[in-house]
Chain A
Amino acid sequence: MEVPVVRNILEANDRISAQLRKLFAQHRILVLNLISSPGSGKTSTLERTLTDLAGEFKMAVIEGDLRTDNDARRVAATGAQAVQINTDGACHLDSSMIQEALEAIDLSGLDILFVENVGNLVCPAEFEVGEDYKVSLLSVTEGDDKPEKYPLLFAESAVMLLNKTDLLPYVDFDMARAERFARALNKDIAVFPVSCRSREGLGAWYDWLRDKVREKKNA
């Protein structure tokens, strides 16, 4: 016999994600899921952000990597709480991994929790981890057609950081093209050109964070 089911295959993950969201809402913590390809500068962006906003916010980071705790050590050096998840080859973080990592994080008084996902533009877009927003990072040393090639991620992101703008004179990256395609399926996406190296443009990204923290506190 044929049994109609119609159940979301990722429902187990979505269920835990919803629980996490509730927990974060109770603590009024802004949670951001940071997604990019390997080498776009997720960890550098975090190091810079955690350092520059250390006086304003209490922040923590969950680091997802296939192996090593290199990134967690880099991030912890800024004074923020950092927990490493080693996925042992898995290409994305899921909600149960976050749930486990939270055991090592003190949520009290926390303003922002960054989840640095595994470097990958495909799989992390499918798995919620209790975040308020996805933040995608694209560096100008990559192709400006990434938003065309990986539409789901950019359609789901609230922010696209275009990193390494100090290298623009040396590459053929078309900022307008990247932005146009990111907006094609997501008219509200905030696009911030930044350079973690020269610090150019970081102010707009920080202002966005301040706005969202304020919204979360007043929610």
Chain B
Amino acid sequence: MHEMSIAQSLVAIIKEEMEKHGLTRLHAVRVCHGRLAALVPEALSFAFEACTLGTPLEGVQLEMQDIPIVLRCSQCATEFSPEEGDLFMPCPKCGEGLGHEVLQGKELYLDNIEAE
């Protein structure tokens, strides 16, 4: 349940960005998260709601986009995305199952905001 910490950091960044661009009304927020990043979208939405209650950011829905995992095979360097629910699948080209490098899937970032 680290979503509360994430929500608090998110609110701080949003406020900073709005100030920087002279914006006062927030309409939408888009967060991208890698599938390895163990983020529970519902928990983050709930935490964000709790953090923004009674503030100018109240009522804004988070849009969450998940980023698929991409691995590079430790043997033949083939890049592949493990199928849903099968993170530990062997390389589809050479069958190697060990030591793949994670190229994508650990991300957690604020992609953009919509505000005026």
Residues facing A in B81-116 (CB within 8 A) are 87-88, 97-100, 102, 106, 108-116
Q: Range of interface residues on chain A?
A: 35 or more
Q: Which of A26-34, A43-51, A183-191 contacts B (4 or more CB under 8 A)?
A: A183-191
The answer to whether B114 touches A2 (Cβ under 8 A) is yes
Q: A9-B6, A9-B9 are in contact. Are A151 and B112 (CB under 8 A)?
A: no
Of B110, B113, B115, the contact of A9 (CB 8 Å cutoff): B110
Smallest beta-carbon distance B79→chain A, Å: 14
Smallest beta-carbon distance B69→chain A, Å: 9
**Is A57 an interface residue, CB under 8 A from the partner?**
no
The answer to whether A9 touches B2 (Cβ under 8 A) is no
Contact code string B1-32 (vs A, CB < 8 Å = 1, else 0)? 11001100110110001000101000000010
Contacts of A122 in B (CB 8 A): 2, 38
| Interface residue count on the B side (C-beta < 8 Å) | 34
Q: A91-B2, A184-B88, A184-B99 are in contact. Are A9 and B112 (CB under 8 A)?
A: no
How many angstroms between the C-alpha atoms of A106 and B36 in the bound complex? 37
The answer to whether A180 touches B98 (Cβ under 8 A) is yes
**Is A126 an interface residue, CB under 8 A from the partner?**
yes
The answer to whether B110 touches A5 (Cβ under 8 A) is yes
The answer to whether A13 touches B98 (Cβ under 8 A) is no
The answer to whether B108 touches A10 (Cβ under 8 A) is yes
Residues of chain B whose beta carbon lies under 8 Å from any beta carbon of chain A: 1-2, 5-6, 9-10, 12-13, 17, 21, 23, 31, 36-38, 71, 74, 87-88, 97-100, 102, 106, 108-116
Residues of chain A whose beta carbon lies under 8 Å from any beta carbon of chain B: 1-13, 90-92, 94, 122-123, 125-127, 148, 150-152, 155, 180-181, 183-188
Q: A3-B21, A92-B5 are in contact. List 16 more A-B contacts (CB 8 A).
A: A1-B116, A2-B113, A3-B23, A3-B115, A6-B109, A9-B109, A10-B9, A13-B5, A13-B9, A90-B5, A122-B2, A123-B2, A152-B106, A184-B87, A185-B87, A186-B99
